Structure 1
Amino acid sequence: MEQRGTLLIFVVVVVVLVAGSAVQPSGAQPSPGYYPSRTIRSMAFGEGYNNLWGAQHQTLSPDQKALTVWMDRSSGSGFKSKRSYRNGYFGASIKVPPGYTAGVNTAFYLSNNELYPGKHDEIDIELLGTVPGEPWTLQTNVYVRGTGDGRIIGREMRFHLWFDPTADFHHYAILWNPDQIVFLVDDVPVRRYHREAAFTYPDREMWAYGSIWDASDWATDGGRYKSDYRYQPFVSRYSELKIAGCEVGAAASCRPVPASPSGAMLSAQQNAAMLWAQQMSMVYYYCQDYSRNHANYPEC
């Protein structure tokens, strides 16, 4: 009887192990079914961008297609697209530094702050540094007409990513079209911000930017942890720089980069992948923050 019981337990364990091996791990990234990063060619840095500040904290790869930027006590660094756009796909593969990186902000974003100071629009992807043992945070944000003069109305959604962004390059992109903004990570849509009304949607020309800078006053746990320059330099790397879309001077016939295989709204497969990313990784969403004045957010 004891032998039969032992055999039965063995069979059950084998069945469970075999069944488990056939199941996709819960953390496995789903296929979005559409891969715009694969259809848009990478450009040399100088083809699309210029240094904006901190040139002494930038180095280009020999083929001019990868940029290394770093932050130390003296400075960070930033770059800006040569041209402005009225819509488009803007992407970069980014690898951020490991270890103690509290306060470090590695950003890739669209903005017109130099053209409209105090009343600018902005679409942000920001990788926010951390302390050892805690994850980096991916912050997405949308500003619309007027983030200066003490009236800062951000629309943040934050994620703890399903991978280690310090271990390898991952592709982060903003797809900005007349009717929606889609934030993508390795082609997986993690957030969609759609146009509800003109006053809640950025539709003026913008430039693309990248930067590394000290955001100690807010970036890590609300500013609890600051940049510690005993660990400098903090080095981030950009490659696979991609821009496609309509420049401000483009003909009226210029068409935006499609958001899905059908060309308009996200497909069912993309929406399923986005739901997975938000359920798996989202840690903050401004529409669910009732400490904020929701009169500022009619889209919620």
Structure 2
Amino acid sequence: MLLRSKESNRDMCPSAIAFLSILTILTAAPSRITAGQPPWPGYRPSLRFRPISFDQAFRNLWGPQHQIVDQNALTIWLDSSSGSGFKSVKPFRSGYFGASIKLHPGYTAGVITAFYLSNSEAHPGHHDEVDIEFLGTTLGKPYVLQTNVYIRGSGDGTIIGREMKFHLWFDPTQDFHHYAILWSPREIVFLVDDVPIRRYLRKSAATFPLRPMWLYGSIWDASSWATEDGKYKADYSYQPFVAKYTNFRAGGCSAYSPAWCRPVSASPFRSGGLTRQQHMAMRWVQSRYLIYNYCWDPKRDHSLTPECWR
């Protein structure tokens, strides 16, 4: 979730009107959704990890006055003064990272709600990142869930994104759903409600993130690119834009774990990979809800993404 236009980190109080309106926003009219349910994947990796306390595992990164923790449910919001972000206390070198998230309904163009791994603060201008990003939308159109992987990227316009974008088979504004990244030295698996939607394999060290990363979440204004390549901007007459996170689950090998710490798996196979049922569920999602794959984009220079053809 590279902050191309990160908001100010100064502490700014939201208006009283904006604060009170948070209570009603999450019950606003839903956006359009598609129908259908994926096949049962047969395995739920989220159940291998106990819920963790937000206060124990995370700290505020910016916009502290746009962040509330209530009985382990986190609410963050964006208004015209600022957004908000949080960061895990410790870095990891592999693991499972999940949270149940409920998104803002209605007009959210330009607004990004994110849950991601990054080492941008440890390696500024040359960092790794694994993203789950919800790209805001206009009235009547569904959210886009963007998954992305950066390897030693920079913010100077030369970054190589590996985006795959999806619609969802449910309305993510109506209830909490669980979104997760499983990162091991062999693969990255993105999951929604324990259904794998994307698997990114390590085919070379040059195309795979291997340095320790922290877990982050945020809501911020990315009007320059988020919605239909920047065609639609954030409209603050709809503010505040609210995101809710709960049911945080994370585990694996921290950067401080002993060398013998075993990476977690997305399947019952200790060596990693997916079962046949999981592959079937992933193919079902991709055949119906995948709307963009960087490997299929004829405008991309695929010499820069050799994992597409190897």
Distance 1:53 1:28 in 2: 37
Paired positions, count? 274
Distance 2:82 2:173 in 1: 21
2:36 maps to which residue?
27
Aligned counterpart for 1:281 among listed residues 284, 289, 298: 289
Distance 1:286 1:48 in 2: 33
User: 1:171, CA displacement in angstroms?
Assistant: 0.3
For 2:209, what is the secondary structure of its paired residue?
coil
For 1:121, what is the secondary structure of its paired residue?
strand
Distance 1:299 1:90 in 2: 24
1:1-300 to structure 2, matched below 5 A, reads: 27-61=36-70, 63=71, 65-263=72-270, 264-300=272-308
User: 1:256, CA displacement in angstroms?
Assistant: 1.1
Distance 2:126 2:186 in 1: 21
1:63-87 CA-partner distances (Å, limit 9, x unpaired): 2x11000000000000000000000
User: 1:26, CA displacement in angstroms?
Assistant: 7.2
Q: Which runs of 5+ in 2 are unaligned?
A: 1-33
Q: Which amino acid aligns with 2:219?
A: I
Question: TM-score, normalising length from structure 1?
Answer: 0.90
Question: TM-score, normalising length from structure 2?
Answer: 0.87
Q: Which runs of 5+ in 1 are unaligned?
A: 1-24
Distance 2:118 2:35 in 1: 36
User: 1:27, CA displacement in angstroms?
Assistant: 1.1
Distance 2:122 2:65 in 1: 26
Against the structure 1 CA distance between its residues 39 and 132, is the aligned structure 2 distance closer, same or farther, given a 3 Å change threshold? same
For 2:152, what is the secondary structure of its paired residue?
coil
Dislocated runs of 4+, deviation >4 Å: none
1:234-275 CA-partner distances (Å, limit 9, x unpaired): 011000011100011101121111221122211111000000
For 1:287, what is the secondary structure of its paired residue?
helix
Distance 1:44 1:213 in 2: 23
Distance 2:68 2:48 in 1: 27
Q: Which amino acid aligns with 2:189?
A: V
For 1:222, what is the secondary structure of its paired residue?
coil
Give percent identity, aligned residues only.
Answer: 61
1:157-211 CA-partner distances (Å, limit 9, x unpaired): 0001111000100000000000000000000000000000000000000000000
2:3 maps to which residue?
none
For 1:130, what is the secondary structure of its paired residue?
coil
Are the aligned partners of 2:147 and 2:163 in contact in 1 as well (CA < 8 Å)?
Answer: yes
Are the aligned partners of 2:77 and 2:219 in contact in 1 as well (CA < 8 Å)?
Answer: yes
Q: Which amino acid aligns with 1:81?
A: S
* Rg (Cα) greater in structure: 1
Distance 1:255 1:138 in 2: 30
